[in-house]
Amino acid sequence: MREADPPAARTSRRPFRLAAYALGVTAFGAGAPTPLYAVYEARYHFNSGVLAAVFAAYTIGVLVTMLLVAPLSDVIGYKPVLFVGMGLTALSGVAFVLASGVLGLALARVISGLAVGATTSTATASMAALEPRHDQHHVARVSVAANFGGVASGICVSGLLAQYGPAPTELVFLVLIGASLAGLLAVHYIPEMIERPASGGRMRVQRLSVPREIRLPFGVAAGALAACYSIYGYFGAIAPTFLRVSLAIENKAGSAGVIALMFGLAAIVQLGLGQVRDRRALLTGLPLILLATVVVTTALALRSLALFALGAAILGLGVGTAYMGGTTLVDRVAPVARRGEILSAYFVVGYLALAIPTIGLGATIDEFGLLPTAVAFGSALALLVATLYLVTRRTPTPPGGEGRPRDAP
């Protein structure tokens, strides 16, 4: 399998942007349910533990397709896998519209996760092949921005439609279905950048492996990713309950706007990260996450919406910077021949950190209440982030995999 090089794809940014659109649509679908969890909770009478489990069901789908379907792009090409991803995104919208209970919601979240797992790595790889200047850092920045920006857009649109639209739990998913159909059209116009082997290749399960010589920088980066994804789970599943119960925010659009602030700033900060990456980005982002954790926890204790919004904004800046730093660090130190399996191991850590703490938070809320749970989560996160910062400071910037310099693709 080798990369093809259609001349038009190398001179035009349009195919690159279409691939980024496909990535953004799946992220939109992942964020869309967030403002609706309060509606589902009241409608189907389930507690915070069940809500967290429904949210985390998404991870099952992500891991299945990330490890089984996404590697098929090496066998059948990028476009067929992206078609599958867009089709699953549309199907997840249908599943949410038809859901009539907890099991239906969990199924819809699993399908949404399947879509994300199939699309994310494949769309990013396609963008890397389609970027006219072969600028892999630009690819990373745009993919992160599309991911976080898509989630923020899904949350905002869902909150607005839930508050002011005629069908609070259906309308946003009709928008998602329409965007997914447009995504299918977008994928049609993306040139295939992979030449299939004459033998047709064979299916494989994505291997997960980290060479011994890069385990320290990998551990630092994966720890930062785990912190970022646990915050993702906290804001995506638990924060709406905190806003509604602790801060008495009943307006779904207002609550969605506060939550989307974190994801939106995590996307926007990518625009300013042209020269900030690797270890330097981690040393910038981790202290911001630590500060924001203190601010958000204090806001909940004082029942201050303004302070919570400030903490969410700082958290967005910190998460966006640390996420970029960890991802570019792993990508640079990974030997080229093993980059796929190392990045897969890296993101498996992230998605497990998305699911496990979120489920734990839901169970803890039911047992001990909102504020004790917020304090416990904030304390654990602060300890993790402070430890990562100290380890990162003591870890010198390693050389690139196979001698790649800092700015090499």
Compute the average pLDDT of residues 217-235. 93
**Structural domains counted in the chain:** 2
Is 215 in the same domain as 188?
no
Give the model confidence (pLDDT) of 356-381 as tens digits. 999 998 889 888 888 899 999 999 99
Is position 163 within any domain? yes
Q: What is the pLDDT of residues 36-57, one digit of tens each?
A: 988 898 888 888 889 889 988 9
The stretch 298-321 carries a mean pLDDT of 94
- pLDDT class of 399 with cuts at 50, 70, 90: low
| pLDDT of 183 | 96
Q: Which of 196, 231, 260 is the last residue of a domain?
A: 196
202 lies in a domain? Answer: no
Question: Has this prediction a pTM greater than 0.75?
Answer: yes
Are 179 and 282 members of one domain?
no
pLDDT digits (tens, 9 = 90+) for 159-204: 999 999 898 899 999 999 999 999 999 999 998 766 655 455 555 6
- How far is residue 307's CA from residue 12's CA, in Å, rounded to a whole number? 45
How deeply is 138 buried, as exposed, middle or buried, from its count of CB atoms within 10 A (0-12, 13-18, 19+)?
Answer: middle
Q: Are residues 59 and 94 in the same domain?
A: yes
| CATH (domain of 28) | 1.20.1250.20
pLDDT tens track for 78-124: 899 899 999 999 999 999 999 999 999 999 999 999 999 889 888 88
Q: How does the average pLDDT of the chain come out, rounded? A: 86
Q: What is the per-residue burial (b if ≥16 Cβ within 10 Å, else e) of 285-303?
A: bbbbbbbbbebbbbbbeee
7 band by pLDDT with thresholds 50, 70 and 90: very low
Q: For residue 3, which phi and psi values (nearest 5 degrees)? A: -80, 130
The reported pLDDT for the residue numbered 2 is 47
Q: Are residues 239 and 293 in the same domain?
A: yes
In a domain, 46, yes or no: yes
Widest CA span in the chain: 65
Last residue of a domain, one of 142, 163, 196: 196
In a domain, 409, yes or no: no
Structure tokens at 275: 């020269």
For residue 11, is it within any domain? Answer: yes
Residue 332 included in any domain: yes
Indicate whether 244 and 151 sit together in one domain.
no
Using CA atoms, how far apart are residues 257 and 313, in angstroms rounded to an integer? 11
Same domain for 110 and 238, yes or no, is no
203 in any annotated domain: no
Q: Quick check: is 341 in a domain?
A: yes
Q: Which domain holds residue 163?
A: 1-196
